Amino acid sequence: MKIAVLTDIHANFVALQAVNAHIEAWGPDHVFMAGDLVNRGPRPAECLQFVQEKIHTSGWQWVRGNHEDYVISQARQDAPHCGPHFEVHKASYWTYQQLGCDVSALKSMPFQQSLFDPAGDEVRIVHASMRGLRDGIYPETSDSALAAKICSNTSGLQDAPPAVFCVGHTHRPLVRRLNSTLVVNAGSAGLPFDGDTRPTYAQLTFQMGKWQAEIVRVDYDLQAAEHDFYTSGYLPDAGPLVEARSQLYNWSIRYQDRAWRGEIRMEDSVREFRENE
């Protein structure tokens, strides 16, 4: 049995196509898209349509990520369309518009997918962890914290640990074993944050009664992806894409409070942040 898991595409259609080609050449039995398909990138409609077609024609399965929730929130009747709160979440509103203001497909995405291997053991896929869509697993996560992220769900109940627990969210890939569970973070198929700009996905293989995992790097046309950021109408900054690191934390320290108070526009804060980096 072979399983491919890709995650955190973030509307990078060029990367998605390259990763898909690699997956098709490998020939897995199952493919899972583990959330954050859209938002924070330039071509959300194309990515959504592509994965929907894969679901219908090739049996792909998906789960929801926190960025799907951000876009869904734009459909609420009380969602602001001006002011500081809107400015901070303007990218999600742009994505919402690119999807034709239709979030029905995003709402249909489940929190979790599972299948069972020939030995009867569970392979479980969620976006971040069992504790929620934003409670992620990092290389530095301790064993005790990791155990809670695998087995403690959002209701505070304990689930039995699966044989394989596969996630994304942090954009930092890892393969690690905790007791009887093989823990895999598939990284990011569209926006890596570990210093390597090549998209990643996870190859899971069941052989001789055991699961093994490998993180695969895929070469792709980074310049074409960067071009999409600047020509699509998305926010004019491809820094995280070409630098393969998250800039959100440092931005939030310097600008988030000012943005919430309406003292600086989102575009101006990004421009100023990039100029001073």
Residue 26 backbone dihedrals phi, psi, to 5 degrees: -75, -35
pLDDT at residue 244, rounded to an integer: 75
pLDDT at residue 270, rounded to an integer: 63
Cα 145 from chain centre: 21
Structural domains of the chain, with CATH: 2-222 (3.60.21.10)
Q: 195 near 21, Cβ under 8 Å?
A: no
Residue 34 backbone dihedrals phi, psi, to 5 degrees: -100, 40
What is the average per-residue pLDDT within 129-136?
96
What is the average per-residue pLDDT within 107-114?
97
What is the token pair recorded at 207? 């052989």
pTM of the model: 0.89
The chain-wide mean pLDDT, for the chain, equals 89
* pLDDT for 167 beyond 60: yes
Helix (H) or strand (E) holding 224: helix 222-231
pLDDT at residue 260, rounded to an integer: 57
Residue 127's pLDDT band, with cuts at 50, 70 and 90, is very high
pLDDT at residue 219, rounded to an integer: 98
Cα 70 from chain centre: 13
Residue 253's pLDDT band, with cuts at 50, 70 and 90, is low
Q: 154 near 127, Cβ under 8 Å?
A: no
What is the average per-residue pLDDT within 14-35?
98
pLDDT at residue 237, rounded to an integer: 63
What is the token pair recorded at 104? 């029905």
Residue 270 backbone dihedrals phi, psi, to 5 degrees: -65, -45
- Specify which residues 30 forms β-bridges with: 3
Sign of CA dihedral 108, 65, 23, 49: positive
